[in-house]
A and B are shown apart, each in its own frame.
Chain A
C-alpha cells in the first residue's frame, strides 16, 4: 500500500458478480425482506423492487432532492444511499405519510396552496418538509427557504411551497 491514492481507481480485471445480500427494511410500517446487489441504491430498491414509485429519481446525484425519504425520521437522499447499508432501518416514503385514509397536514397544505405544477418534485418536497418540521429549526420564511434548499422545483413553485409549509407548521404546532 505504498501508493495511497490510486486506491480509488485501482481495479484488476473483472471479478465475478458479487452475491446478492438479504436486507430487511421496515417501509411505511411494513417489514419487507429482499435480496439486493451491493450497488442497489435505496431509491432503486424502493421504486424497482418494492414498487413504491412515489419517491422520484431526478438527478440521481444528490443535487435535486426528488428522492428525499425519511430514515428513522430524518430526511436523506435515497439516491446516495445503498440499500445494503440500511438493513433493519425504518423508512417512510410519501406513500406512508397519510394515516387512516386522512392526508398528512403537509399533503393537505400543498393542495390548499397549489404548491406544485408538474408535481415531480412534490413527494420529495413533502418528505423533506416533514423532516424539517421534526427538526424544529426553521421558524421564519427565510429559515424555511434555507432549510428546504435541498429540494429543487423546476416549475418554480417555491413561494407556494413555503406558504404550504407555514400552514402545516401552524396546524401541527412546530415541534422544537
Chain B
C-alpha cells in the first residue's frame, strides 16, 4: 500500500469541507473495497477521510411510510433489521447473498453503492484499462471476459457493477440522498450508476465533492411476492455471474405491478421499463415471464467468454419470477434453487 495521510471527519459538513479542499483525498467507510484496491495500487489516494464517526448510522421510518437508511449502517445490520426483514425482504435477501458475514459486518450502505468493478484487468495494473487509466484501452473486450457485461456495454468498457444490494435497491426504486458544497439533493436509484459510454472511469453521478448520507426506500416493499436469485461459480462468497431481483404485486392471479432488475450483466443494475410493462395485467404464468425475459435480453451482446450469460439470464429471470409469483423466494442458505 502506498503512503497516505489520515484524517477524521466530525460531521457531514466537515466531511464535505475536507473532501472539497483536497482533490487527492477519498472517503473511507468500511474499507472493504477501498483498502483492497489500495493494496493493489489501483486506488492511490493521498489522504483518507474517515467518515465512520458521522451520525449516519440509523434506520428510520419516514412520514410517507418509507424507510431512511443512514449511509453508515453496516450491510449485516441492514439485512437483519426487523423492519427490513418484514417489509423489504427482497433487500435483506440480496444483501445476504453478497460477500461474507465478516465483510457485511464491515461494509457500509454508502460504500456498497460506490464499490468498483471486479473486472480482472481493472485490478491488474500491468494491463491497459480505460476505467483505471482513461485512454489506455480495454483489455477485457478481447481478453478473459467471462465475468463481464452483456448489456449496455461500450467500446471503451464492458465492466459490470458487482453489488447484490444495489440490484434490490434498483427494483425497489430507492432514492440516494447526498450532500455537497451546494447543499443536499436526492438522486433516483436508476440515475445513480452510469453506463460506461466513453467515460468508463466515471461509475456514478455522485460528484467528487459529494457524500452519500442516506438511502430512502418508498413505502411499497413487495413483501408478499419477491425473490433474489444469484447464480455464481461457487455456492457462496462469490460475485454474481447473473442475479435477478423480482418483485410482484398480484391481484387475483394477475400481475398488477412488476419490478425486475438484473445484476452481474451491466455497468449498473439493469432494468427495462418495457419488460416490466409487458408483465402488468398478465396472468402470473410462464408465458408472461418468457415475454419479459425476451424483451429484457433483446439487445444483449455476448463476448468470447460470456455469451452463456444470455441464456443463463433468461432462465434465471423465468425462475425468479416464478419464485416471486409462488411466494417461494430463494433462501440464501439453501443451495437448492426452488
Contacts and interface: CB of A to CB of B under 8 A. Distances in A.
A112 to B, nearest CB: 24
A133 B134 CA distance: 47
Contact of B102 (A61, A65, A85, A138): A65
A15 B46 contact: yes
Chain B interface SS verdict (over half): loop
A77 B48 contact: no
A38 B48 contact: yes
Interface stretch (B2-10, B276-284, B305-313): B2-10
A9 to B, nearest CB: 5
A43 to B, nearest CB: 11
Nearest to A68: B102
A39 B106 contact: no
A74 to B, nearest CB: 5
Contact of B236 (A61, A76, A149): A149
A32 B209 CA distance: 36
Interface residues of B, number: 55
B57 interface: no
A151 to B, nearest CB: 8
A1 B23 contact: yes
Interface stretch (B25-33, B145-153, B220-228): B25-33
Interface string A24-67: 00000000000001110100000000000000000011100100
B3 A143 contact: no
A77 B101 contact: no
Contacts of A68: 102
Nearest to B100: A150
B1 interface: yes
B237 A4 contact: no
Contacts of B37: 8
A41 B6 contact: no
Interface in B288-338: 332-335
A62 B103 contact: yes
Contact of B5 (A18, A60, A146): A18
A10 B24 contact: yes
A5 B38 CA distance: 15
Given A4-B207, A38-B3, A39-B1, 5 more contacts: A10-B23, A11-B2, A17-B3, A149-B235, A150-B237
19 contacts: A3-B208, A5-B199, A5-B201, A6-B134, A11-B24, A18-B4, A38-B48, A68-B102, A74-B105, A76-B102, A77-B106, A80-B30, A80-B31, A81-B106, A128-B101, A135-B101, A138-B333, A142-B335, A149-B236
Interface of B: 1-6, 20, 23-26, 28, 30-32, 35-39, 42-46, 48, 50, 52, 76, 80, 99-103, 105-106, 132-134, 199, 201-203, 206-209, 235-237, 332-335
Which 5 pairs from chain A and chain B are nearest by CB?
A150-B100, A149-B236, A38-B6, A146-B333, A4-B208
